[in-house]
Amino acid sequence: MVFRKIFRALGRVLGFKKRKKRRVSRVRKHARRRRRPVSRRRTRHLRHLHRRKILRRNKRAVRHKTRRRPGKPAHRATRPSKTAKRPAKTPWVPAGEISHYFPKVKAAVFKCRVPLAIGDAVWIKGKNTNFRQTVGSMQIDRKPIERASKGQEIGLEVFQDVRPGDQVFLTRI
């Protein structure tokens, strides 16, 4: 024990580096534990099988995920016929897309796709925005208006912050 410490110190002084331990594969380690010799060829073969097993497992997982496409019905029997008309899903009509927002006055600018009037219910939906309100104040070139027709770019007073690109919907009711 003492000699080992002396030789280590002497080796450091002379500039000898410590020998690195060779990394042993899991298969060889297992064989060593069982005290059985394992040839290199055998370890390569086992490594190959293990790799194939993992690949097979991954392939199965990917196949399972992509088996059913989203939005497609599971069976053909449940698919509705082409002649049957579906009822409207929502009572909301796209009214436009917000192009600009003035945060101090809390006003959003958007181009109307449908006629809009004071008192109408609007729903503003975006990536981080989702709220409903009634139209209280509308302006065109800083002049208040009662009604906005299709194609006009209006300023709408909103109660929450909105972002450019948010969608504006109008109720049909």
Main-chain phi, psi angles of 131, to 5 degrees: -155, 160
Weakest mean pLDDT among 61-70, 78-87, 123-132, 151-160: 61-70
9: part of which helix (H) or strand (E)?
helix 2-14
The reported pLDDT for the residue numbered 9 is: 80
Q: Kindly tell me if the per-residue pLDDT of 115 is higher than 90.
A: yes
Kindly tell me the number of DSSP H helices and DSSP E strands found in the chain. 3, 10
CA distance 25 to 32: 11
| Gyration radius of the chain's alpha carbons | 36
Which residue type occupies 91?
A: P
More confident residue, 130 or 25: 130
Q: Kindly tell me if the per-residue pLDDT of 107 is higher than 60.
A: yes
Q: Kindly tell me if the per-residue pLDDT of 77 is higher than 80.
A: no
Could you tell me the two tokens for 81? 């016929």
Could you tell me the two tokens for 91? 């009572």
State which of 67-81, 87-101, 111-125 shows the largest mean pLDDT.
111-125
Could you tell me the two tokens for 149? 């027709």
Place of tokens 């991954």: 58
More confident residue, 57 or 2: 2
Could you tell me the two tokens for 118? 């004071």
Does this model's pTM top 0.85? no
Could you tell me the two tokens for 142? 């800083």
